[in-house]
Amino acid sequence: MRVAIVGGGTTGAAAAITLKDEPGIKVQVFDQGGRGPGGRASHRRVDARSASHTVLPDDKHLEPLDTRTFEFDHGCQFFRADSSEMRALAAQWCESGWAAPWTGRFSRVVGPKIDDSPAAPDFFGLPGSEAPVFVGIGGMQQLPRALLANSGAAVERGTRVCSIARTESGAWALRGTRGLGALHDTSNAVAQQTADASLGEFDVVLLTDASSSLGGWHRASANLSTGGPTTSEADAAAADAAVARVRSRVRVPLFTALVTLSQPIGDPDGVPLDAFSVVGGGSPLWFAARSQSKPGIPRGGAECWTLVSTPHYAVGQIEATPMQEPTTGAFLPQEEVSIRAQSISLF
């Protein structure tokens, strides 16, 4: 049986390794990420020595005192293991050396009332989690990449699945783009030079993100089609129901700011915390984490913090940035001219 997994984040990687020992199954993972799999467990490694601060590959683990890079988890900051099933997986991943408990100094702070924005709830549950919280060793992206590397699945990096349709044989045919044309922030002039190509036919297709079930105008969308000459009404209804379940999953928009400091503040004389949630008030800041407090992140360089916005702030920014051309509906990638520099007060 040929199985295609669309998305190489934690969900897709966990699915791939779950199928590893199933007889008669061949798995192929398609991941759109320009720097490799990871999805929302993404990491940003930046050259600390260059004036341009070039983003670097982030596959390899670095030495503990490496000073060549700035390190940021700029998506998911940690994962919890609240259920018995998740605790078993976390124990297995820790034993394999892919993840570890994050035992930092955690707290909540109360933000001032800046404007009339609604106060954000404590979505992260840190501190206060009854179970330990965990991170990928050397960056959150290391966990899904380790899962994929040990799954035996074929992994296509930098590949966007553009469409899925039923064939006359009853298989699912995938088409997509590779390279620069697959990336969400490539200019239209470059992306339009890349033609869609066949990615193969599969018996089963697993969609691991809500974006893949949305309309095809956005480059993160697969635009699932349930039509085709041999599609029965029952097949179409089942596929429609599956797409509806994926589409209905909760999606929380967030913006992140990646900050390096000229001198450390994550100590008793500065901010004696490694991560904190901001509750109350109307601050656009929702969560903050210090990279160097996480296992496997080099401690020899500048102190790095990831600041995560509230959904209210992110929605406002998204609404202010057009993503479709008004007359044609064409996708407008977020280029430099559309990213508005702002001076905002976090506290």
Q: Which amino acid is at 164?
A: I
Rounded CA gap, 37 and 118, in Å?
A: 35
Q: Which amino acid is at 347?
A: F
- Taking only the tens place, the pLDDT of each residue in 125-175 is 776 556 689 999 999 999 999 999 999 999 999 998 888 888 888 899 999
Domain ranges for the chain, please list them: 2-40+146-247, 43-75+77-139+253-338
Mean pLDDT of all residues in 310-336 = 78
Res 258 pLDDT > 70: yes
82, 125, 274 from 79: Cα distances, Å: 10, 10, 16
Average pLDDT, the chain: 84
Residue carrying structure tokens 């009339």:
116
> Which residues lie across from 14 on neighbouring strands?
none
In three-state secondary structure terms, 327 is coil
Answer CATH for 43-75+77-139+253-338 from 3.30.420.40, 3.40.50.720, 3.90.660.10, 2.40.37.10: 3.90.660.10
Confidence category of residue 347, pLDDT binned at 50, 70, 90: very low
Q: Are 178 and 197 in contact (CB under 8 A)?
A: yes
Rounded CA gap, 338 and 187, in Å?
A: 12
Q: In what order do the strands lie in the sheet with 43-47?
A: 55-56, 43-47, 69-73
pLDDT of residue 151: 96
- Taking only the tens place, the pLDDT of each residue in 190-240 is 887 888 899 999 999 998 877 776 666 677 776 666 666 666 777 777 777
Whole-model pTM? 0.88
Confidence category of residue 336, pLDDT binned at 50, 70, 90: low
In the chain, what percentage of residues exceed pLDDT 90?
Answer: 40
DSSP states of 195-239 as a string?
Answer: --EEEEEESEEEE-SGGGGS-TTSTT---B----TT--HHHHHHH
Res 241 pLDDT > 70: yes
Q: In what order do the strands lie in the sheet with 26-30?
A: 154-156, 26-30, 2-6, 204-207
Res 302 pLDDT > 90: no
Burial 88-112 (b: 16+ CB within 10 A, else e): ebbeebbeeebbbebebebeebebe
Closest CA to 7 of 42, 33, 27, 26: 33
- Taking only the tens place, the pLDDT of each residue in 126-137 is 765 566 899 999
- Taking only the tens place, the pLDDT of each residue in 59-68 is 899 999 999 9
91, 138, 269, 301, 326 from 62: Cα distances, Å: 24, 8, 28, 12, 46
Res 279 pLDDT > 90: no
pLDDT of residue 283: 81
Higher-confidence residue of 259 and 117: namely 259
Token pair belonging to 209: 């993100």
Closest CA to 74 of 40, 105, 37: 40
Higher-confidence residue of 186 and 295: namely 295
Q: The dihedral of CA 303, 299, 273, 107: what is its sign?
A: positive
Higher-confidence residue of 320 and 38: namely 38
Token pair belonging to 280: 């109350």
User: Which numeric CATH code is attached to 2-40+146-247?
Assistant: 3.50.50.60
